């Protein structure tokens, strides 16, 4: 998201890089992730399981636009729940604003202003009080997950259709547990192939894994001949809290080792070539 950065430290000829949170596919709302060559790489692993594989930007927004257009044609508002910082602006940047008006929650608009000031192209957005009932029936409504079930949501009518955008939507059953009509797989964190490609691109022989599916990723990297270890940090648990019990990943079927082998069939330089805020 906008403002994300890595930290590079060099001492006595050795280089460490701390990635923070990252994803590898450019989305047009921030500077793309840049691999930095290093000896030791500290990586997150929020979605560090082979089951997590994101659709491309083109596929994702084709799905969202198709959903919104269908609802608009039926005269039903489309409520898309996502983090107000980063993900909401990514949604706004990618959707087809010609389908209808776009309404944003009060938690989203101040952040839109920051993105616009940074030169990120976002379509015109409205507060709910600025549109009449007819316009709201064709609207895309972008709101944080905390808005779900609040009186604010009642303004869009009882027949409004809701959806949730999160990497956790990759896992079977999470849409139902979230009590939404539709789930879109979208995250500001790297998926499994993204983690593999990012780690490989650094050339690091030592990898420290934090925040997420740490044991699985450490085991996989160790099996590929790298010095991989778990690394505890003070990172927040916003993604885990957002998922809560309702979006906890389900176990990968079959043995973990077999699943990992199937996920990464081609190895080059010790790693495979395969390359998610109210």
Question: What is d(CA 43, CA 25) in angstroms, rounded to the nearest whole number?
Answer: 16
- Average pLDDT score, the chain: 86
pLDDT value, residue 253: 36
197-232 pLDDT, tens per residue? 999 999 999 999 999 999 999 999 999 999 999 988
* pLDDT, average across residues 242-247: 40
Residue in 149, 189, 184, 190 with CA at minimum distance from that of residue 170: 184
Query: Does the pLDDT value for residue 270 go beyond 90?
Result: no
Place of tokens 């001492």: 11
Residue in 190, 192, 191, 193 with CA at minimum distance from that of residue 274: 193
- Classify 203 in phi/psi space as left (phi over 0), alpha (psi -120 to 50) or beta: left
Pairing of strands 40-45, 206-212: parallel
Topology classification of domain 7-54+188-272 = Metallo-beta-lactamase; Chain A (3.60.15)
* pLDDT, average across residues 89-116: 98
What are the boundaries of each domain within the chain? 7-54+188-272, 57-184
Do 7-54+188-272 and 57-184 agree at the fold level? no
pLDDT value, residue 175: 66
* pLDDT, average across residues 3-19: 96
- Between 162 and 232, residue with greater pLDDT: 162
Confidence of residue 109 (pLDDT cuts 50, 70, 90): very high
* pLDDT, average across residues 250-277: 32
Q: Could you tell me the pTM of the whole model?
A: 0.82
Query: Does the pLDDT value for residue 246 go beyond 80?
Result: no
* pLDDT, average across residues 179-205: 95
**Does the domain at residues 57-184 carry the CATH identifier 3.30.950.10?**
no
pLDDT value, residue 268: 26
Per-residue HEC secondary structure of the chain comes to CCCCCCEEEEECCEEEEECCCCCCCCCCCCCCCCCCCCCEEEEEECCCCCCCCCCCHHHHHHHHHHHHHHHHHCCCCEEEECCCCCHHHHHHHHCCCCCCCEEECCCCHHHHHHHHHCCCCCCCCECHHHCCHHHHCCCEEEECHHHCCCHHHHHHCCCCEEEEECHHHHCCCHHHHHCCCEEECCCCCCCHHHHHHHHHHHCCCEEEEEEECHHHHHHHHHHCCCEEEECCCCCCCHHHHHHCHHHCCCCCCCCHHHHHHHHCCCEECCEECCCCCC
Residue in 3, 8, 90 with CA at minimum distance from that of residue 41: 8
pLDDT value, residue 66: 98
**Which of 32-41, 179-188, 239-248 is modeled with the greatest confidence?**
32-41
**Separation of first and last alpha carbons in the chain:** 14
């Amino acid at each position: 998201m906008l403002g994300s950065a890595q930290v590079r430290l060099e001492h006595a000829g050795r280089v460490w890089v701390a990635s923070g949170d990252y994803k590898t596919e450019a989305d047009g709302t921030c500077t793309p992730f840049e691999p930095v060559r290093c000896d030791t790489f500290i990586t997150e692993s929020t979605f560090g399981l082979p089951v997590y594989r994101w659709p491309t930007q083109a596929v994702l927004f084709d799905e969202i636009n198709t959903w919104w257009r269908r609802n608009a044609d039926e005269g039903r508002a489309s409520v898309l729940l996502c983090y107000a910082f980063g993900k909401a602006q990514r949604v706004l940047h990618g959707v087809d604003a010609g389908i209808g008006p776009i309404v944003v929650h009060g938690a989203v608009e101040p952040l839109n202003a920051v993105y616009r000031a940074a030169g990120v192209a976002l379509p015109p957005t409205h507060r709910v009080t600025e549109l009449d009932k007819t316009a709201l029936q064709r609207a895309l409504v972008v709101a944080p997950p905390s808005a779900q079930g609040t009186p604010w949501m009642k303004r869009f009518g009882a027949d409004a259709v809701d959806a949730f955008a999160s990497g956790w939507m990759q896992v079977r059953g999470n849409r139902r547990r979230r009590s939404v009509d539709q789930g879109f797989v979208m995250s500001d964190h790297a998926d499994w192939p993204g983690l593999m490609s990012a780690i490989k691109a650094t050339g690091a022989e030592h990898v420290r894994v934090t925040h997420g599916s740490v044991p699985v990723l450490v085991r996989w990297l160790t099996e590929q001949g790298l010095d991989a270890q778990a690394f505890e940090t003070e990172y927040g648990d916003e993604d885990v809290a957002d998922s809560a019990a309702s979006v906890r990943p389900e176990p990968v079927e079959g043995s973990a080792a077999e699943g990992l082998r199937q996920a990464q069939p081609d190895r080059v330089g010790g790693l495979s070539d395969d390359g998610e805020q109210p």
